[in-house]
Structure 1
């Protein structure tokens, strides 16, 4: 893995499109978030696309704050990433597998900006745990929605 990135993956028994649609809907982010920081969607489109901006109510260490994000990477059904003022990125990649299901990889890329601050604050380890829980939630939601459509 590249230096100053944290990534985890999970195989989800659902098509990439269904999973991508969950991640591309900012209103669903509080349901997906495994870190406990994303509280609610403030503004933005119903569905993200290239250069979309969206705002979220956040909370960390008991302190509420607001974050504006901008989509900086976008390939329909395959890749979506956004950044905020801190310049690090949250990226989701979706790869349909030949045997069925989709490999979903979430990456926290903190290689831009205040690398030392992120390391000293313990953010890489904290974000790794949050990513793991987020991917568990994403898997549960996508598979439940897929089963409901069957």
Structure 2
């Protein structure tokens, strides 16, 4: 795997369409966020698609801030990725195992950071985001399998 991508996967007992409906709804992002940074949806469509923009209320180290995100990859019920002002992306990929089970992979992709990629490692994004991705997948799994 590319050293500038951090990915984790989980198998969830739910069809891809049901999982994608949650991931593609920015109002649900606080429900599945494992980083404890996403606070709420500020604006945007109920269901994201290619080119959609949406705003999120965030908090880092106790400091609130807002992001404006744009969907940059989209394949219905299979893949969605967005980014904000930075060159990194958050990507979700869904691979059906059978009609009621799906392998879900979340990736923090900073391969577009060019010569600034060392800054991501310097501030600890790879390991911090790996932990947050694992927690997000667990939250998504619990939400869908409850």
Shared fold by TM > 0.5?
yes
Q: CA RMSD in A?
A: 1.1
Unaligned runs of 5+ in 1: 145-150
Structure 2 partner of 1:71: 71
Cα deviations by residue, 1:65-106 (Å, 9 ceiling, x for unpaired): 111110000000000000110110000000110485100000
CA distance in 2, matches of 1:142, 1:20: 11
Please list, as runs of the form range in 1=range in 2, the aligned pairs for 1:1-150 lying within 5 A after superposition. Answer: 1-98=1-98, 100-113=100-113, 114-144=116-146
SS at match of 1:138: helix
Change (3 A) 1:99 1:52: closer
SS at match of 1:106: strand
CA distance in 1, matches of 2:111, 2:74: 19
Moved beyond 4 Å, runs of 4+: none
CA distance in 1, matches of 2:54, 2:81: 12
CA distance in 2, matches of 1:34, 1:50: 24
If the length of structure 1 is used for normalisation, what is the TM-score?
Answer: 0.93
Unaligned runs of 5+ in 2: none
